[in-house]
């Protein structure tokens, strides 16, 4: 089902980022071509080299970095046009708010505004943040615009509390990816 599909993963800065390494690895194993965009904050948790090694592709962080040294490609347009699906995981309250407001101030947000492919968002954050009325409103707005969401789930959070805000199980995210790509 994923063989030959171009999946672009937008990785944001949150502690759940370590789980996205497993997501990239499993998607590659299923035959998908996986490319990764990292926000600057994401690089504070995991290095681009980790995702480059797992995906077998360059990792993109800088909006002004050329994708190809052989030909001129505008990175946010090129990445947006070739993906079959954009998955944002872990999606922070920050990225959700920026997307809902139409802010495009980094590579990931400019790709979001440039793509015509489906976008699946997998949030991960503290339960107080997830339940904040502003975040709830931003999620509702994005859902009304056709963005797909999976999770978050209930469980142990990075702060030591239990609550809703955990990144959804990676296997469930993969099943949702397959479902979105099937439709």
Mean pLDDT in order along the chain per 10 residues (183 residues): 94 96 97 96 96 95 68 67 94 98 95 95 95 98 98 88 94 97 88
Tell me how crowded residue 135 is: count the other CB atoms within 10 A of its CB.
20
- Three-state secondary structure call for residue 83: coil
DSSP 84: S
Q: Is 151 exposed, middle or buried (0-12, 13-18, 19+ CB in 10 A)?
A: buried
Do 120 and 149 form a contact (C-beta atoms < 8 A)?
A: yes
By annotation, the residues acting in catalysis are 159
What does the pLDDT read at residue 73? 58
Cα distance from N-terminal residue to C-terminal residue, the chain: 12
CATH topology of domain 6-182: Rossmann fold (3.40.50)
Residue 114 neighbours by CB under 8 Å, 6+ apart:
76, 77, 80, 81
What does the pLDDT read at residue 53? 97
Torsion of the alpha carbons at 51, 102, 86 and 130, rounded to the nearest 10: 80
What does the pLDDT read at residue 157? 82
Model-level pTM? Answer: 0.93
What does the pLDDT read at residue 151? 92
Scored b (16 or more CB within 10 A) or e, 155-175 reads eebeeeeebbbbbbebeebbe
Tell me how crowded residue 83 is: count the other CB atoms within 10 A of its CB.
24
Residue in 117, 93, 113 with CA at minimum distance from that of residue 104: 113
């Amino acid at each position: 089902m994923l063989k030959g599909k171009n999946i672009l993963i937008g990785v944001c800065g949150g502690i759940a980022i370590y789980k996205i390494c497993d997501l990239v690895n499993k998607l590659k194993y299923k035959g998908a071509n996986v490319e990764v965009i990292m926000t600057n904050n994401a690089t504070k948790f995991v290095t681009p080299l980790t995702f480059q090694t797992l995906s077998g592709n360059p990792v993109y962080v800088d909006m002004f970095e050329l994708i190809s040294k052989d030909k001129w490609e505008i990175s946010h347009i090129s990445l947006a046009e070739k993906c079959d699906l954009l998955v944002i995981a872990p999606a922070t309250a920050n990225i959700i708010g920026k997307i809902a407001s139409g802010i495009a101030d980094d590579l990931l947000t400019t790709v979001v505004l440039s793509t015509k492919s489906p976008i699946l968002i997998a949030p991960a954050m503290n339960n107080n943040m997830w339940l904040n009325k502003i975040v709830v409103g931003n999620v509702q707005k994005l859902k009304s615009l056709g963005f797909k969401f999976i999770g978050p789930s209930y469980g142990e959070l990075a702060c030591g509390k239990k609550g809703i805000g955990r990144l959804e199980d990676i296997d469930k995210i993969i099943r949702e990816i397959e479902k979105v790509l099937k439709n």
